[in-house]
Structures are given as structure tokens and as C-alpha cells.
Structure 1
Amino acid sequence: MVRWYSLILMIAMATGVWLTAREAERKGFKKEQIYDIAIWIILAGLLGARLFHVLDHWSDEFAANPIRALYIWEGGLAIWGGVAGGLFAAFILAWKNGWKLPKLLDAGAPGLVLAQAIGRIACVITGDAMGKPTTGPFGFAYTSSNALVPKLGVYYTPMPVYEIIVNLGIFALLWQLRKRNLSDGLLFLVYLTLYSFERFFLAFTSSYQILAFGLTQSQIVALVSLVIALVLIARMTVQARPKTSAA
């Protein structure tokens, strides 16, 4: 299970970096520049993803044995933490190299969501991030002692499968939009808007702990991200309108 998890994550990250480098070259960057910064963005993303997961599951998974927080190979990566960590690293690197951050984020948006879709295959195989137990017609049960589900033999809502399907849909849309004459940063904001919707609604099928207002950590972060994305899109739309001179 561990080897499958690690292998698929590496494939997901390699695919995301390759696609980002390809798109970045089309936008005026050099492929070598993207490959040079990719390792730092990936490391920051993994650190953020693990940190969010540990904070969200501290009482039920890590309080009794804190050293397990370092066992990243056991699974347990929070997607929002990965996005936050990667964004932070991208901001620092763009500032350091004198690049336009919105253009860099646009180049990375299709690769990011495709990598997220591929990465969720690891969850399907290992049983990580499954949803609530279900008696419905579509559920996954695991019998291997290495599976990451709370209880073997119980059918769970396959939330990662739904995420894969939605993420591939988002990728298809971004792939179509990427060559349109959009303002810098808009493609990434479209990704952030759609992904926030996805995470908010799919989290209702999850077994994550409630943090506040009947919502999970993931849903609260999704709402905040959605508001930020919509505000920025509205602002860009207003700024893009042609100004008419007063009569």
C-alpha cells in the first residue's frame, strides 16, 4: 500500500510539473525555470498538506503518538494545505525572480488539477480519505490490513472517486480556456472557484471532524477560498470593462 501511495504521488507530481513547464513556455517562461523551482513548490506543498492533515486529525490520530506526524508515507495529506503551501512558495519564488505571479499561476492551474486527480488514485487504492460508511449501491470496502480505512470490511462512500471525476472535468474546462485572451490570473481563479465548490459539497460525504458551524476544516477553507476567488474575479471584470468618457 505504501509503495503504491508513493508511486502514484510521484507520477501525479511529475505530470503536474511537466504540464506546467509546457504551459509556462507558451506564456514566455523557460522550461528550465519551472523545473528549477518545481522542487521547492512541491516540498512546500507536501509540508502544507501534511501540516493541515495533522492539525485536523490531531486528537484522533496523533495526540497519543506525535512522532507519527512525520510518517508521511502512511498517507494523510490535506489538499488545501498543499495548495496553500504551494501558493506560498510560488509567491516567494515569483518575487525573487521578478516574475508575474498571476501568469505563473495560470500556467500551473491545469497541471495542478490534473495532478490532484491522479493523486486521488492513490487514495482509492489505499483507502485514504474515504467518505462516510454507506449502505448505498456504490461503496468501497477494504480487507487488507494495510488499508487506511477506519474499519475493514465496511463499505465507504468513495469520495476520492468523485473527486477524480470532478477534477478531470475542471481540467478539461481549463484546457479549453487556456488559449483564450484572459486577464493574467483569471484562469487560476476559475480553477480556485470550481475547486472550492467541489471541496465544499463533496465534504458532506466525508467523515472529517466538524470544526465549526457544522462544517469541516476543508469546507471552511473552501468557503474562504471561494469568496476570495469571486471577489478577485469581480474586480478583474470591472477593471477589464472599457471606460466610457463622460458626455
Structure 2
Amino acid sequence: MYPNLYYAFRELFGISVPFLKILNTFGFFVAIAFIAAAYVFTKELKRREELGLMSGKLEKIIIGKPASQADLIGYAIVGFILGFKFLGIAFQWSTASEDLQSFMFSGQGSWIGGIAVAAIMAYREYASKKKKALPKPVEKDILVMPHQRVPDITVMAAIGGLLGAKIFHNLENWGDFVQDPIGALLSFSGLTFYGGLIVAAAIILWYARKKNINLRLLVDSVAPALMLAYGIGRMGCQFAGDGDWGIYNSAYTVDVQTGSTTKMAPMTFEEVVQKNSNYFQSKYGGIENIPHASFEKPSGLGFLPDWFFAYGYPHNVVNDGVKLTGCEGQYCRVLPIAVFPTPLYEIITCLGLFLVLWAIRKKIKVPGVLFGIYLILNGIERFFIEKIRVDTRYDIFGFHPTQAEIISTLLVIGGIIFIIYCRKKNTASLS
């Protein structure tokens, strides 16, 4: 596992760059997911605009206006944060290098560096606007097309999505949140995809309505991008080992010296649990509460490695498990019994579903139907992966679904209803 890019570069290329410790692996893949989704989203919006299906909106802009106080304050704040933290790392390297991530989220930094960079950035904005300023600012109408709003939509989706993912995760794990609310909010793990999707969707739909963008064409355009973003985002979960994995596969154990997966006879499951009783007792209370299933690699799939079916996530970013023999440093834990690597399964499934949506997008002529298909495919995929994932379960009239199972079921139902609605609306508009 690669908790941050420092570990990835060290293992893959044999280079040690301590500064890379501040770049979390999960965050890196989330950023890649947003970039890839923005590219696909823009491409699809442009296609629909060229077909004459979507149009822009005239908006007024002021040319030649000097920098406002709000602009200068905004640049100064950003500059102060950058200078305070990054120059703080440079000036306090001996302390910061021990745990760069903790340093970034602490009150430590360089006040001189923060003030200096704040002044530089504010002055650059002031000088740039002054150079372009006119004696009398001119008001001008410009046509803004939907694809030109993708950067704004991406930023809103990123902020709303991350906030929603955190909120829903902490609601799902309320007990852990109450014990350490600050740690839960600032931790690098603990993001609920559906929470992010719901909050981001609400914000984007509000923005689209405000800008007079056709909502059904908009959601059709974004459907493939959402599936692609989810598949890439799950790479972050897999490579960082963020705890978002499956139940234990009791057919495999883990070598605590190498972190590798090895086969285990079913009758030795209890022995391994007893050997690591402190870990399992503190986490589950008793062997009867340990979620597990035994599944060995089928003979017909011998070409696949064992870790495809069971993985111990050595050096995981959440420091879950028992200590790796001989390992020194911050991330030295490995799961004592291998788990189903559900993020890996979702990477493969969602990238495949993205290709399906991308292939059929031109064949579906009724606005909104493609998004309805996305909701159904997304809901089905997540519902079935939940069967082997570790999640909090609710007690509802004798049923024990997870939060994701409830939402994924609603997504499938909602997708079907939305397709029916869009078809009826399209028929009515043609008659």
C-alpha cells in the first residue's frame, strides 16, 4: 500500500522524496478522478451543443475594472495559507519532516512566510488588474455555453461532494464521530460516496437551473463522467488502503513478515483469531461478531493472483491491523486475515460500466434516459458489492441493510421511475 506518494515513489522508482509525504494517495486519485470526469463531461456537452441540443446564456461582464478589495483579500488569504504552511515546512524541516501530514493540519507554520506570500499574491493581482484597467469600465454581453461552466461545476462538485461524503460517513458511524469529532472530520479516511453524490447533485442542479441549462440534457452528459470518476476514485481506496474494504476471506491468512497473502485451511481461522486476540477483541468483541466468508480462488482462474480474492493491505493509511515484523515508521500495520479487496472489484466494474454508458450515449435520443440507466447500473453495482463489504447495518423491521444498500435500492427505483417519466414527457412533447 502507498499511504502517500512518498511510499509510492520509494517502492516503484527507488527514490525517496520526503516532501511527497504531504500528498496523500487517496487525495491524488480523487484529484485525477475530478480531472478525468471534467474532461469527459466537457467533451459530451460540446457534442450536444454542436448538435444544437443545448444553448448558452448571455451574461454581463465588466471589462477594465480595477481589483476590488474582495479580490485582494481573497488572494492575500490564499497566499498566507500557502506561505504559512509550505515555507513553514522549509524553515522547520527537522520537525515537519517527521510527520508532514500532521504538520499540514496543525497550527504550526511560518508567519513571516505567510505574510510575505500574501503580500506578493495580493500585489500581483492589483498590478495585473491595474494594467488592464480602463478610464471608464465597459459593460459587455457575452454568450456562455454550458461546457464553459464545467470548471465552476467541478469546483462545486468537489467541495459539496467532499462535505457530503464526510457528513454521511459520520452519520453512519456516529459512535466513532462522538468519541473524536475533530479527528473524524480531518482524517484522510471515511468518505461515503453516496453522501458526496447527493450533496454535489443538489448543488449542481441548483446552479444549472440558475444558469438556464437543460437539466435532463445536463444529467445525461454527466452520467458517463460520474461512473468514470467513481472507478478512478476507488483506485485511491485500493492503493492507499483506506479501510473501505470487504469482509475477511477466511480461506486466506497474511504473513506478518512480508504482508503477502497465503492460503489457510478453514479450521485454522479460529486459531489465527486467537493468535491475534487483542486486535479482534478490541474491534469486534468476540469471534461470532467477525464478518467473514471462506472463498478460495477457483481452479479455472488460476492465472489471477491470490490477492485478487484476498488481500491484507500492508502499510494501509488507516493503520489498521497488527504490526508488520521489522517495519519501522508511521504505517506498519497489516490485516492478520486477508479481506476481499472490494475497491478493486469496483474499479473493474465501474470502468466497464463507464465504457457501456459511453458506447450507448449517442443511441439514446430521449433526454434523461441515459442518466436513469446510470442510476440503475450504479445502484445494482453498489447493492451487490455491499454483500461482502464492511459497513454499519441498521435494524429496520427485522431487516439489516447498510446505508449504501438503502440508497442503492432507492437509486434503482428512482432510475426506473425517471426513465418512465422522461419517456412520457418526450412522447407528450412530440404529440
Q: By the TM > 0.5 criterion, same fold?
A: yes
Match of residue 105 from structure 1? 219
Match of residue 68 from structure 1? 183
Q: Report the aligned-residue RMSD.
A: 2.0
Instruction: Sort the Cα spacing of 1:242 and 1:184 in 2 relative to 1 into closer, same or farther, 3 A.
Output: closer
* Counterpart among 155, 158, 182 of residue 365 in structure 2: 182
Higher strand share: 2
Question: Contact 1:140–1:155 (CA<8 Å) still a contact in 2?
Answer: yes
Task: Tell me the secondary structure at the aligned position of residue 155 of structure 1.
Answer: strand
* Counterpart among 77, 80, 85 of residue 194 in structure 2: 80
Q: Give 2:217's aligned amino acid.
A: K
* Counterpart among 144, 148, 168 of residue 52 in structure 1: 168
Number of residue pairs matched by the alignment: 242
Match of residue 93 from structure 1? 207
Q: Does 1:224 align with 2:339?
A: no
Deviations 1:178-217 (A, max 9, x none): 1124211111111110100111111010110111321100
Ranked by relative contact order (alpha carbons within 8 Å, sequence separation 6 or more), the top structure is 1
Task: Tell me the secondary structure at the aligned position of residue 248 of structure 2.
Answer: coil
CA shift, 1:92, in A, is: 0.7
Instruction: Sort the Cα spacing of 1:183 and 1:149 in 2 relative to 1 into closer, same or farther, 3 A.
Output: farther
Higher helix share: 1
Matches within 5 A, 1:1-247: 1-2=3-4, 3-28=24-49, 29-59=145-175, 61-72=176-187, 74-128=188-242, 129-134=244-249, 135=251, 136-137=295-296, 138-144=309-315, 146-147=317-318, 149=320, 152-153=334-335, 154-212=337-395, 213-240=399-426
Task: Tell me the secondary structure at the aligned position of residue 394 of structure 2.
Answer: strand
Instruction: Sort the Cα spacing of 1:66 and 1:171 in 2 relative to 1 into closer, same or farther, 3 A.
Output: same
CA shift, 1:43, in A, is: 1.0
Instruction: Sort the Cα spacing of 1:203 and 1:77 in 2 relative to 1 into closer, same or farther, 3 A.
Output: same
**TM-score normalised to structure 1 length:** 0.91
- What runs of 5+ residues in structure 2 fail to find an aligned partner? 5-23, 50-144, 252-294, 297-308, 323-333
CA shift, 1:66, in A, is: 0.8
Higher Cα Rg, which structure:
2
**TM-score normalised to structure 2 length:** 0.53
CA shift, 1:126, in A, is: 1.9
- What runs of 5+ residues in structure 1 fail to find an aligned partner? none
Task: Tell me the secondary structure at the aligned position of residue 247 of structure 2.
Answer: coil
CA shift, 1:234, in A, is: 2.3
Q: Give 2:160's aligned amino acid.
A: A
Q: 1:237, 1:181 → 2: CA distance?
A: 11
Instruction: Sort the Cα spacing of 1:41 and 1:227 in 2 relative to 1 into closer, same or farther, 3 A.
Output: same
Deviations 1:118-171 (A, max 9, x none): 110111112221010112341110232634546633201111111111111210
